[in-house]
């Protein structure tokens, strides 16, 4: 493996020059209209819902294990998938599937994942929700170049240039690895539902859309001692929306269909939404279940689409979702919801008790915030028996120490804005190597986020607790340890966090992937 660094001086201010030329004025219109994305219609007939059985991503076996560490291998490759019946969808995959294989780790044990890039362009892997040393966090210019040698530093720069993306390479040294790269995850963190996905600068939206996303679950003793549903009643559900061309290929409104120039066309600068809902990669699937409690690990891996999830019909008495966990693992106590708002990047661990329904009920999981095809997600077909259920949801799930905002040493403001200047944080477009904050490890900090549009704000390295929303008490979906928070237009939240263990450069960004790609990202450097 050869490794090089290179100074980006030759292309400094690439984006800064280009961005005023193209579609940014369109943003002001979107901000007025307030839609968190624009639907790209499919050009193929949409499949009938509830025909495909729900796929469960396979759990990856370690290549080797030692006393302290489990080693995994993943190959990023071009794969033809059959997502729509009878049609071929060329995808970018981890090990040939979308979602990629689920990796299951144990808190306190180290995991390494060696990624080999057999795609025809650079890749970056980020473990979302991981408490990860900077070198393995998936910095957007820490690239795994294709194994076939088709990319060199010059070509990397070519792919970053042009387009109204707003990001500038600045003078930051890039970190290029050819062919393979090993990511090390210490997992000095509690049980949680994490996910891994591509994070390449300016191309994350396109890469995730084409299939580069998978689950990474962390287990620990505390959670295993609880009498919660497990095994095939503990189901990860990756919810995405996609659009398809007539030949079955993914449709994505990139400025350059070959994806060698960043950016999407003006119409989709507020975010790309599809009209086909995939759960674990299958369109509107159906899952046969027994009348028993199930744990669903809900992940919104869509580029831009927020969902308001609801079961239809609702069980008698409502409160269909018993939330037991958030992005960062178990809540202190369960919370009951009729509907669940989930923004891109967020996870909710919920228990659904299908025994509350009459035998044989077909229960749809629907999205209340839209109409048309995207308003349905999947269906659970409940069996007719009355099996004994030995699981329960305890009233006490975990101890969550409150971070004391009174001990904060810094309060920092981050304004997430769209305007004729583009998608910005504190009026600046992303530039690798330019840190907007330098928090000291171990210190409590209050960070305040404000918006003028929908932005799911995601913080790397450590989870946080939400203190206030719009100067009032926090929202129904803000509880527990979070790494992504759903902000609507003209909202303000305060969060409290403490960065720990790892010095280095990390990111804060909008998880609407088109906003992220078009520069709504910032570095912060811990020390
Ligand atoms: Cu899920 Cu920095 O991203
Ligand atoms: Cu955003």
Q: Which DSSP string corresponds to 359-397?
A: TT-EEEEEETT--SGGGEEEEEEE-S----------S--
Q: Whose CA is nearest to atom 1 of ligand 1?
A: 128
**Helix (H) or strand (E) segment spanning residue 224:** helix 221-224
Judged by DSSP in three states, 206 sits in helix
Q: Could you tell me which of 352, 381, 206, 368 has the C-alpha nearest to residue 290?
A: 381
Domain 405-526 coded CATH 2.60.40.420: yes
Q: CA nearest 128: which of 199, 205, 191, 57?
A: 199
Length of the chain: 527
pLDDT at res. 173 = 74
In sequence order, the β-bridge partners of residue 225 are none
pLDDT at 162: 67
Mean pLDDT of 352-365: 98
Whether the pLDDT of residue 168 is over 70: the answer is no
Residues in Cβ contact with 370 at an 8 Å cutoff, skipping those fewer than 6 apart: none
How much distance in Å is there from the Cα of 251 to the middle of ligand 1? 22
The class (CATH top level) of 233-382 is mainly beta
d(CA 210, CA 258): 13
pLDDT in tens, 451-497: 999 999 999 999 999 999 999 999 999 999 999 999 999 999 999 99
397: pLDDT confidence band, cut at 50, 70 and 90? very high
Does residue 384 come out as left (phi exceeding 0), alpha (psi in the -120 to 50 range) or beta?
Answer: alpha
What's the 126 CA to ligand 1 centre distance in angstroms? 7
CA atoms of 7 and 9, how far apart (whole Å): 6
Q: What percent of the chain has pLDDT over 70?
A: 94
For 218, 330, 335, 487, the CA distances from 466, given in Å and listed in that order, are 23, 15, 16, 12
Same CATH topology for 233-382 and 405-526: the answer is: yes
User: Which ligand is closest in space to the CA of residue 344?
Assistant: 1
Starting from the CA of residue 516, give the closest ligand: 2
Q: Indicate whether residue 138 lines ligand 1 (CB < 6 A).
A: no
Distance (Å, whole) CA 104 – CA 491: 36
Ligand 1 in contact with 520 (CB < 6 A)?
Answer: no
Q: Which residue has the tokens 């690798």?
A: 432
Q: How confident is the model at residue 420 (pLDDT cuts 50, 70, 90)?
A: confident
What Rg, from alpha-carbon coordinates, does the chain have? 22
**What would the mean pLDDT of 42-67 be, rounded to a whole number?**
97
Structure tokens at 328: 């960062």
**Segment 78-90 mean pLDDT:** 98
**pLDDT at residue number 7:** 37
Question: Residue 170's pLDDT is what?
Answer: 61
Q: Which of 71, 92, 68 is nearest to 81 (CA)?
A: 92
Q: How far apart are CA 80 and CA 264, in angstroms?
A: 24
Single pTM value for the model: 0.95
Q: Which of 204, 199, 250 is nearest to 81 (CA)?
A: 250
Residue-wise burial string across 101-138, b where 16 or more C-beta atoms lie within 10 A, e elsewhere: bbbbbebebbbbbebbbebebbbbbbbbbbbbbbebbb
- What residues contact residue 314 under an 8 Å CB cut-off, 6+ apart? 320, 338
Identify the CATH homologous superfamily for domain 64-227: Cupredoxins -  blue copper proteins (2.60.40.420)
pLDDT exceeds 70 at position 9? no
| CA gap 178, 187 in Å, rounded | 26
The model's pLDDT over 130-167, given as tens digits with 9 standing for 90+, comes to 999 999 999 999 999 999 999 999 999 888 876 555 55
For residue 205, the SS3 value is helix
Identify the pLDDT of residue 380. 98
Look over the chain and give the mean of its residue pLDDT values, rounded to a whole number. Answer: 93
Compute the distance between CA of residue 150 and CA of residue 392 in angstroms, rounded to an integer.
54
| Domain boundary assignment for the chain | 64-227, 233-382, 405-526
Cα 386 to middle of ligand 1, angstroms? 42
Would you state the pLDDT for residue 169?
A: 65
Q: Is the CB of 507 under 6 A from ligand 1?
A: yes
Rounded-to-integer distance, Cα 99 and Cα 89, Å: 14
Residue 509 CB–ligand 1 contact under 6 Å? yes
Report whether pLDDT(516) > 50.
yes
Residue 326: pLDDT over 60: yes
Query: From residue 49, how far is each of 53, 84, 114 by CA, in Å?
Result: 10, 11, 37
The proportion of the chain whose per-residue pLDDT surpasses 90, expressed as a percent, equals 88
Q: How confident is the model at residue 421 (pLDDT cuts 50, 70, 90)?
A: confident
Cβ of 335 less than 6 Å from ligand 1: no
State mean pLDDT over 183-187. 98
Q: Residue 112 contacts by C-beta under 8 Å, 6 or more apart in sequence?
A: 69, 70, 71, 72, 182, 183, 184, 185
Query: Worst-scoring range by mean pLDDT, 93-102, 219-228, 286-295, 425-434?
Result: 425-434
Atom of ligand 1 nearest to the CA of 195: 1
pLDDT value at residue 447:
98
pLDDT at 15: 41
What are the tens digits of pLDDT across the range 11-51?
Answer: 333 443 344 445 677 788 888 888 899 999 999 999 999 99
**Closest ligand 1 atom to the C-alpha of 197?**
1
pLDDT at 444: 98
| Gap between the Cα atoms of 331 and 51, Å rounded | 35
| Separation of alpha carbons 76 and 96, rounded Å | 8
| pLDDT computed for residue 417 by the predictor | 94
pLDDT of residue 25: 74
């Amino acid at each position: 493996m050869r490794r090089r660094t290179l100074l980006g001086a030759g292309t400094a201010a690439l984006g800064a020059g280009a961005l005023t030329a193209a579609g940014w004025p369109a943003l002001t219109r979107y901000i007025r209209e307030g839609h968190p994305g624009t639907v790209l219609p499919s050009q193929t007939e949409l499949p009938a819902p509830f025909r495909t059985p729900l796929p469960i991503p396979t759990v990856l076996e370690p290549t080797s294990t030692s006393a302290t560490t489990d080693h995994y291998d993943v190959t990023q490759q071009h794969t033809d998938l059959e997502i729509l019946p009878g049609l071929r969808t060329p995808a970018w995959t981890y090990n040939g599937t979308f979602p990629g294989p689920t990796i299951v780790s144990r808190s306190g044990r180290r995991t390494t994942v060696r990624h080999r890039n057999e795609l025809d362009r650079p890749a970056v892997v980020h473990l979302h929700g991981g408490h990860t040393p900077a070198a393995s966090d998936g910095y957007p210019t820490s690239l795994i170049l294709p194994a076939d040698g088709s990319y060199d530093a010059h070509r990397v720069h070519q792919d970053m240039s042009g387009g109204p993306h707003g990001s500038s390479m600045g003078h930051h040294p890039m970190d290029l690895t050819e062919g393979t790269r090993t990511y090390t995850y210490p997992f000095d963190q509690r049980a949680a539902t994490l996910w891994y996905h591509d994070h390449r600068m300016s191309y994350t939206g396109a890469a995730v859309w084409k299939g580069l996303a998978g689950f990474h679950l962390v287990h620990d003793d505390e959670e295993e001692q609880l009498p919660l549903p497990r095994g095939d009643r503990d189901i990860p559900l990756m919810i995405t929306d996609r659009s398809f061309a007539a030949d079955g290929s993914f449709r994505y409104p990139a400025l350059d269909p070959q994806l060698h120039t960043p950016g999407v066309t003006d119409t989709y600068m507020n975010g790309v939404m599809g009209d086909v809902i995939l759960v674990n990669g299958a369109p509107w699937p159906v899952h046969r279940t027994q009348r028993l409690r199930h744990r669903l690990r809900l992940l919104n891996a869509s580029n831009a689409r927020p969902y308001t999830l609801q079961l239809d019909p609702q069980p008698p008495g409502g409160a269909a979702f018993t939330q037991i966990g958030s992005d960062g693992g178990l809540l202190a106590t369960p919370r009951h919801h009729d509907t669940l708002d989930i923004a891109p990047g967020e996870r909710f661990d919920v228990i659904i008790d299908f025994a509350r329904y009459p035998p044989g009920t077909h229960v749809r999981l629907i999205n209340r915030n839209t109409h048309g095809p995207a308003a349905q997600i999947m269906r659970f077909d409940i069996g007719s028996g009355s099996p004994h259920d030995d699981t329960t949801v305890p009233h006490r799930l975990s101890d969550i120490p409150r971070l004391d905002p009174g001990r904060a040493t810094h309060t920092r403001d981050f304004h997430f804005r769209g305007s004729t200047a583009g998608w910005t944080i504190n009026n600046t477009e992303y530039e690798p190597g330019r840190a907007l904050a330098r928090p000291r490890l171990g210190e409590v900090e209050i960070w305040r986020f404000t918006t003028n549009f929908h932005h799911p704000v995601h913080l790397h390295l450590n989870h946080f607790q939400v203190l206030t929303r719009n100067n009032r008490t926090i929202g129904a979906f803000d509880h527990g340890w979070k790494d992504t928070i759903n902000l609507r237009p003209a909202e303000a939240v305060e969060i409290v966090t403490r960065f720990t263990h790892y010095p280095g450069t990390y990111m804060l960004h909008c998880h609407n992937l088109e906003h992220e790609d078009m520069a709504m990202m910032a570095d912060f450097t811990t020390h």
